[in-house]
């Protein structure tokens, strides 16, 4: 799951894969703006067949936060 997330973030923010690490956050990626944030969310929803609530989307401001929300969402939906 984390490897898929890295690829999605890399594509959404138009950065190299090695720029997406556990320390990645909105402040460390220049192209992490509101539009690319939504593109990442849509790609995650499509890839994992889930839907995020607005409050979840707002809190997804770092790699670790996205992993946390994604894990919780996948557990509650029964997807691994």
CA separation for the pair 69, 32 (Å, rounded): 18
Cβ neighbours of 71 (radius 10 Å): 13
Q: How confident is the model at residue 64 (pLDDT cuts 50, 70, 90)?
A: very high
| Residue 66, CA atoms < 13 Å, CB-side half-sphere | 27
Q: What are the extents of the domains in the chain?
A: 2-77
Q: What is the DSSP letter of 21?
A: -
Q: In which band, very low, low, confident or very high, does the pLDDT at 7 lie, cut at 50, 70 and 90? A: very high
**2-77: CATH architecture:** Orthogonal Bundle (1.10)
Output the pTM of the full model: 0.91
Are the CB atoms for 35 and 41 separated by under 8 Å?
no
- pLDDT tens digit string along 8-47? 999 999 999 999 999 999 999 999 999 999 999 999 999 9
Q: Are 27 and 33 in contact (CB under 8 A)?
A: no
pLDDT for the residue numbered 78: 66
- Compute φ and ψ for 43, nearest 5 degrees: -65, -40
């Amino acid at each position: 799951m984390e490897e898929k997330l890295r690829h999605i973030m890399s594509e959404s923010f138009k950065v190299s894969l090695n720029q997406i690490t556990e320390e990645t956050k909105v402040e460390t990626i220049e192209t992490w703006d509101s539009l690319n944030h939504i593109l990442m969310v849509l790609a995650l929803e499509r890839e994992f067949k889930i839907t995020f609530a607005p409050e979840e989307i707002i809190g997804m401001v770092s790699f670790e936060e996205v992993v946390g929300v994604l894990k919780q969402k996948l557990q509650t939906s029964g997807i691994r």
